[in-house]
Amino acid sequence: MKKALFILSLVIIAALGFTACMHKNMTMQQDIPPFGSESDVAYSQALWKVLEKEKLVGPDQIRALPYEGMEPHGVILEQLSTMVTVKGHTGIVYVKANYMGDGMTRSKVVNYPDQYLVAVTVMFKRENGYDPDNQDWFWVKYKSDGSLFANPKGVMLAGRVAKGMSVGCIACHTDADGGDYLFNNTASHLD
């Protein structure tokens, strides 16, 4: 009888320990956002280098016709799109320069772009299977120097930004007409 109680106690302790570990593991998984990981940051850095080489960002970037924007992007925007290759994968990229400032106008952007550039937001079509729920888009919010913005919790804004959340890149862009996550898609898909 004592042996049976001892074995039963061990089974109960093991079950409780397993349950606690599973709960902790599930809680930890829920706390880890689907973006901003080391691999997301590394991929965003590789993407920035390609964007610089293609003159889509940086001091020698190609200029586009500025147009009026809206939050959370700049008051005035420029958008470029083309095909690029990052780490062996070729996909379409949309690069949006976000400009803000007092009395912001399109002519200020044309004449003093560096003074008013506050962010560069990018959508890059990754390989099939990267994020099939959201058409495999990789999202990034860069500062003008190519470093990353972070959310209020310090998570870098690169990868599946705000996936499953009620606000953020993916949540907002799912409302775009055409089901392609693009609001200003005057450029045709190049793929």
Evaluate if residue 29 carries a pLDDT over 50: no
In a domain, 190, yes or no: no
In a domain, 91, yes or no: yes
Q: How confident is the model at residue 182 (pLDDT cuts 50, 70, 90)?
A: confident
- Is residue 55 located within the same domain as residue 70? yes
Evaluate if residue 71 carries a pLDDT over 90: no
**pLDDT digit string, tens, across residues 32-60:** 678 889 999 999 999 999 999 999 999 89
Mean pLDDT of 165-187: 70
Cα–Cα separations (whole angstroms), residue 83 to 75, 104, 123, 143: 26, 31, 12, 22
Buried/exposed code over 29-44 (b: 16+ C-beta within 10 A; e: otherwise): eeeebbbbbeebbebb
Evaluate if residue 19 carries a pLDDT over 90: no
Mean pLDDT of 119-136: 94
Global pTM value: 0.78
Evaluate if residue 155 carries a pLDDT over 60: yes
In a domain, 185, yes or no: no
In a domain, 187, yes or no: no
Position 83 scores a pLDDT of: 97
Which residue range(s) make up the domain with 160? 35-179
In a domain, 147, yes or no: yes
Q: How confident is the model at residue 179 (pLDDT cuts 50, 70, 90)?
A: confident
Do residues 181 and 173 lie in contact, with contact meaning Cβ atoms separated by under 8 Å?
Answer: yes
- Is residue 175 located within the same domain as residue 127? yes
